[in-house]
Amino acid sequence: MIKGKRLNNLKLLKEKNLNKVTMEINTLNNEVKKSNDLASKLKKIKNNSQINQKYNNSMDMMYKYEFERKIIEQISICENRVLFLKNELIRAKNKLGKMVSQKKLIEEKIKFTFLKELQLKESKLTRDTPPFRKN
């Protein structure tokens, strides 16, 4: 039979790991939000940058298209990062679910071993105590 103290230590380790994974999930969520905000800001910049018809020379157009190309590149990088972070978020949530189920299993084992040890102590106490005599 596994000792209760060992199970309690294991439970504490699982809780520590649960806290780490929870912090990881929160960080990933924040990063997804930041990346989405950045992508939306870049899209606004791209949409708001119109070619001015007054100054329509070749150098201005070249700079404008180069600027747009860089913005589109950054938008695609943001979108790829969001996809990667979402996949990592799903992985972390699955890991969290497994850890929660393991923690519940450990808690059940602790409860079971505690009850088993209590029953053994009670049976030992009843076995070792002499019967009462009536005078």
Domain coordinates of the chain in residue numbers?
Answer: 4-120
* CA–CA distance, 46 with 38 (Å, rounded to integer): 12
Q: What does the pLDDT read at residue 86?
A: 94
Q: What's the average model confidence in pLDDT over 7-15?
A: 86
Q: What is the DSSP string of 32-57?
A: HHHHHHHHHHHHHHHHH-PPPSSS--
CATH of range 4-120; options 1.10.287, 1.10.1060, 3.40.50, 1.25.40: 1.10.287
Q: What does the pLDDT read at residue 2?
A: 56
Mean pLDDT across the chain: 86
* CA–CA distance, 41 with 72 (Å, rounded to integer): 12
